[in-house]
Chain A
């Protein structure tokens, strides 16, 4: 009870502060809030290992299915590896995003986060960065496994950069859409339907750039897809930053 009262008084002061035009808090506070959210997520994940283990197992299953669906013989591998990897990452990604946001919603944590007297976008960046960390972790597990299974070296600096850029765009939009989808009635099915059509501009250049690096093409040929990836990342993180308030408002 006392806790609740405390919380309420903090929000009241926060409201008053924002009303008196002191909305822009010192940036140190913002980063503190972001890192607090990240730390909370990483700690929870470290203790339960729910998300990363589910995403990893699912990724391996998807690769096994692709192996038989596409008959990944030595010739085929050269051309479809990038596609298989990105399909795997994006399927596993929705699993992680859904879980990461529904945990917040189910246990009432989202309301708790919203009550905290910090800028709402700090919550967005915190969630997005921790989601990105989990996704990269899963990718770091899947890449060597794929390398071993198919005898291909996937640890090329260019490919790793594409995976990083692609994951940033994916998670940037995905976190925003997952926040919306968990608040709807059809939440379990909705995220992939919402996410995949708008994430296409990430997946296409990512696949082409990955293919380029795997085939050892000249950098000049890969620059255009890379430019699209970077542009997408910048545009959508900016948009998500601006509209995030609207998807958590009560």
Chain B
């Protein structure tokens, strides 16, 4: 078994430090929003985790195509890692959004396009893991997983547009305006610092977790092969 690479160890530590700094920026440094008050501070991590989760799902869909073309199991491990990390990040996004929505919208949950799409996306990738669990043959597991991740990756954006047939109250803070949105606000310069730092932090944390998870996947694969060797 190879030791953990030094770069990865450094990245682990950097991630923790960045998370601390980012928390300071979001909770202390950024000014308090006038209307919503302190609960608005949830926004920084909400967007940070949402962005990285979506990045991971996008990567998973791309890895699907790559795997289906060249059938190298390496891409399957990359895909599992991306989906797994993203699933957790997206869950955090939903929880943070819910915490914000309670005071801002006066409800924990509403069937808005973004919220519904987020919930359905979580369910798609939970189904993805349930599908994988039911298959023993690694090649078949990888093929089915890739096919399902691809279908899920295409279906989720269409779900979003389909739910737009209904009204939305989700605010669009960056680039966009929705007259019916509730809880929108304009960012000040200090807020922007906290915001972009949070985006940067979560990107680094995502890369760190993703790297750790692919490394774990590679090790799992080696263990499986060694087991096969022993039983042969």
Residues in A lying within 8 Å of B, measured CB to CB: 173, 176-177, 180-181, 183-187, 190, 193-194, 197-201, 204-205, 208, 224-225, 228, 231-232, 235-236, 239, 243, 246-247, 249
With A194-B148, A197-B152, A249-B143 already in contact, the answer to whether A180 and B131 are too (CB < 8 A) is: yes
Query: Is the CB of B124 closer than 8 A to any CB of chain A?
Result: yes
The complex places the Cα of A249 from the Cα of B147 at a distance, in Å, of: 13
B 131-153 binary contact with A (CB < 8 Å = 1; else 0): 10111100010011011101110
A186 in contact with B133 (CB, 8 Å): yes
Q: How many positions in chain B have a CB within 8 Å of any CB in the partner chain? A: 28
Query: Is the CB of B88 closer than 8 A to any CB of chain A?
Result: no
Chain A residues with Cβ below 8 Å from B140 are: 183
Looking at B123, B136, B150, B161, the one whose CB has the most chain A CB atoms below 10 A away is: B161
* A–B complex contacts, Cβ < 8 Å, 23 sampled: A176-B147, A180-B147, A180-B148, A184-B131, A185-B134, A186-B134, A197-B124, A197-B127, A198-B124, A201-B162, A204-B163, A204-B165, A225-B162, A225-B165, A228-B158, A228-B162, A231-B158, A232-B158, A235-B158, A239-B151, A239-B154, A243-B150, A246-B146
The complex places the Cα of A249 from the Cα of B146 at a distance, in Å, of: 14
Residues in B lying within 8 Å of A, measured CB to CB: 68, 120, 123-124, 127, 130-131, 133-136, 140, 143-144, 146-148, 150-152, 154-155, 158-159, 161-163, 165
B154 in contact with A236 (CB, 8 Å): yes
The complex places the Cα of A214 from the Cα of B159 at a distance, in Å, of: 23
B165 in contact with A208 (CB, 8 Å): yes
Secondary structure dominating the interface of B: helix
A201 in contact with B159 (CB, 8 Å): yes
With A176-B147, A193-B127, A246-B147 already in contact, the answer to whether A205 and B162 are too (CB < 8 A) is: yes
**Known pairs A183-B140, A205-B162 / 9 extra A-B pairs, C-beta < 8 Å:** A177-B151, A180-B144, A187-B134, A193-B127, A201-B159, A239-B151, A246-B143, A246-B146, A247-B143
Chain A residues with Cβ below 8 Å from B131 are: 180-181, 184, 190, 194
Q: Closest chain B residue to A193 by CB distance?
A: B127
With A173-B151, A239-B150 already in contact, the answer to whether A193 and B130 are too (CB < 8 A) is: yes
A190 in contact with B130 (CB, 8 Å): yes
Looking at A177, A198, A205, A246, the one whose CB has the most chain B CB atoms below 10 A away is: A198
Q: Closest chain B residue to A202 by CB distance?
A: B162
Chain A residues with Cβ below 8 Å from B135 are: 183-185
B134 in contact with A184 (CB, 8 Å): yes
B162 in contact with A200 (CB, 8 Å): yes
CB proximity of B61 to chain A, nearest CB, Å:
11
Q: Closest chain A residue to B71 by CB distance?
A: A246
The complex places the Cα of A246 from the Cα of B76 at a distance, in Å, of: 14
Chain B residues with Cβ below 8 Å from A228 are: 158, 161-162, 165
The complex places the Cα of A177 from the Cα of B147 at a distance, in Å, of: 9
A201 in contact with B124 (CB, 8 Å): no
A247 in contact with B151 (CB, 8 Å): no
Q: Closest chain A residue to B140 by CB distance?
A: A183
Chain B residues with Cβ below 8 Å from A194 are: 127, 130-131, 148
Q: Closest chain A residue to B64 by CB distance?
A: A243
